[in-house]
């Protein structure tokens, strides 16, 4: 009984490992993007230069 269980478990483990390594199939690693620096809002400055389109002509 114990010998039968050992042989069945051995055969099943070999079959499972053979399924993982299929010929012609490439193995890829999944890489998830990680943000290196926190996103900062840009500093809001008043424009030093005025353009003609934004100036009021009197």
Instruction: Locate the domains of the chain by residue range.
Output: 1-56
In this predicted structure, what is the pLDDT of residue 45? 57
Please name the helix (run of DSSP H) or strand (run of DSSP E) that holds residue 24, with its range, or none.
none
pLDDT at 48 over 70: no
Q: What is the pLDDT of residue 30?
A: 92
Residue 15, token pair as written in the block: 């079959």
Q: What is the pTM of this model?
A: 0.25
What CA–CA distance (Å, rounded) separates 21 from 27? 9
d(CA 46, CA 48): 6
CA 49: distance to chain centroid? Answer: 44
């Amino acid at each position: 009984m114990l010998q039968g269980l050992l042989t069945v478990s051995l055969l099943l483990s070999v079959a499972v490992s053979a399924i993982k390594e299929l010929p012609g199939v490439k193995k890829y690693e999944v890489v998830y993007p990680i943000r290196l620096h926190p996103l900062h809002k840009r500093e809001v400055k008043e424009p030093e230069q005025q353009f003609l389109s934004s100036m009021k002509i009197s």
